[in-house]
Chain A
Amino acid sequence: MTDAIIARNVTYRAGREFAIRDLSMNVPSGSVYGFLGPNGSGKTTTLRLILGMLPIEDGTIDLLGHDVPKGVHKALAKIGYVPERLHLYPQLTVEETLRYHAAFYADWDHARAESLRREFALRAEQPVDRLSKGESGKLMMLVALAHNPQLLVLDEPTDGLDPVVRRDVLAALLEYVSSRSATVLISSHLIHEQERICDHVGVMDGGRLIAEMPMTAFRGGIKRLRVSRPPVEGGSLPFTLLNRGVTAGREEEWVVRGWQPAMREYFSAAESELREVIDLDLEESFVELLRSARKPAGTAGEAS
């Protein structure tokens, strides 16, 4: 499987406070890649860097086989982008907006655009500035889908939408992805939504990509372990220890990543007792990843 997006050691600085630091990521072709992170973690900035809207200071980005920013315009012809906020001209009508965008894309599918417009119940003559938030979201999705893109980049596409509109937008997205084998990079802080639709996930925090893995690994690979007579830290662990905290007496809770049942033997060999292995849901896994990333290096074993 080739990668639709390959970023290597990308660095970008915006003012004194915020920076994207040494970001490397791979978005496999045909995947639905969920980009998770708290507000202000750098998801939107990263998407804009990938699309060549912001200048990278260092590093390289390959977008659908084109170098960014040099060949980004060729890549953009094959990309549908739904930004975080409305980017369409408010004075134009829905029909004029579609005509405007159609002029820029050689592969614009007028029939598909019309069918999506009807499906989304958007009136052709309605001005963009009179659309509700849900209708604006649908129109942006329509504009992104109508030229049959190979890659969809969606920045919080369902944020603030009511459940019915959210379902419509996600249904259109999934229908498109399944029929075209397109790649989707979708940023959101709605973790359960991502869990439903994504097969890969990347987690951003503080301008860094702190984890990137298949969704199955994210969903099943992070566990909370209750350990009696825990071994003192040191030596090589068969898993990644994210957090370690004392609960009561000599019992500890460990949060680990990359857990496999066969790793129980590590505790037997260390004369410890593994009392319980607890599955974490996606939200808990996400929070534990963030907590681990925000701790100073080498301090996995702080009290919880």
Chain B
Amino acid sequence: MFAQVLYTQWKWARTELVLYVLAAFLIPTIIIRTGFSYVITYDIHSALGVSTLAGVCLAALAMLCAFGLAWRPYILDAGLKHVGPLSLPVSWGAFVRMRFLAGATLLLIPAAAVWFGGVLAAASVTIPPTLHAYPGGLAIRFYLASLVAYAAAFALQYVAGKHAVRVAVIVLVVVAVAEIAAQMIGFSSIVAGAWNMLTNWPGPFAVFAARWMLIDV
């Protein structure tokens, strides 16, 4: 069963997966190679700056992969009013689990491309002394970040259903109103507080705020 669910999701997502894989491979390769061509051998600060830029791009790509893979299966099922899954002899919970796991499995593909691109990029430049390449760590970080974002998008869709976009807009409006009110009465920023809570350990998005460095100390 899972193999067939995985196959269908692969078939739906394969075109965009190719784009994600290309981007995941090219971002470290191009940014590190191009950036390091301007870095003087012992300029550790500049080297770290180039590595940071690649990391930021990869974090954004992780978000894009996550939302792309979470979005399509739900939209397809919702377009058919979920009649297909509901008429199968498996519980809704079991089906949703398979959907989730299939997406989580597919996210491994761009993560592998990050690792491969990172290995090639690191091998193709002269890394300043005291710095090291961490393609494996970066790929794992990419996978975990995309998994967290995928889980959040997936949960929003399956919990809020067709109201997912409306729920997301309402949350944003409430946050904006609360922020404006907090600023007017002189309270500290609610958005900043919430952001810190979400992006610092044990916040669920801590993986995004950590160091996304292919080449680091």
Give the B-binding residues of A (Cβ under 8 A).
51-53, 73-74, 76-77, 81, 83, 85-89, 91-92, 96, 99-101, 103-105
Contact = CB atoms under 8 A, between A and B. Distances in A.
Contacts, number: 57
B89 A87 contact: no
B45 interface: no
B80 A86 contact: yes
Contacts of B7: 96, 100
B80 A51 contact: no
Given A91-B11, A92-B8, A104 B80 contact: no
B86 interface: yes
Closest 4 CB pairs of A and B: A77-B89, A87-B83, A76-B89, A103-B4
A88 B84 contact: yes
A163 B157 CA distance: 41
30 contacts: A51-B86, A53-B82, A53-B83, A53-B86, A73-B89, A73-B91, A76-B87, A76-B88, A77-B89, A83-B87, A85-B80, A85-B81, A85-B83, A87-B80, A87-B81, A87-B83, A88-B80, A88-B84, A89-B8, A89-B80, A89-B84, A91-B76, A92-B11, A96-B8, A99-B4, A100-B7, A101-B88, A103-B1, A104-B1, A104-B90
A87 B76 CA distance: 10
A99 B4 CA distance: 8
Given A51-B86, A89-B84, A104-B90, 14 more contacts: A52-B86, A53-B82, A76-B87, A76-B88, A81-B87, A85-B80, A87-B81, A89-B80, A91-B8, A91-B11, A96-B7, A100-B7, A104-B4, A104-B88
Contacts of B8: 89, 91-92, 96, 100
B3 interface: yes
A74 B89 contact: yes
A202 B193 CA distance: 62
A120 B12 CA distance: 27
A53 B84 contact: no
Secondary structure at the B interface, as helix, strand, loop or mixed, is helix
A83 B86 CA distance: 11
Task: Report whether over half of chain A's contact residues are helix, strand or loop; otherwise say mixed.
Answer: loop
A100 B138 CA distance: 36
A81 B11 CA distance: 25
Nearest to B4: A103
A274 to B, nearest CB: 51
A53 B85 CA distance: 10
Contacts of A52: 86
Given A96-B11, A103-B1, A89 B76 contact: yes
A85 B81 CA distance: 10
B87 A87 contact: yes
A85 B4 CA distance: 23
Nearest to A105: B89
A101 B85 CA distance: 10
Nearest to B86: A53
Nearest to A106: B89
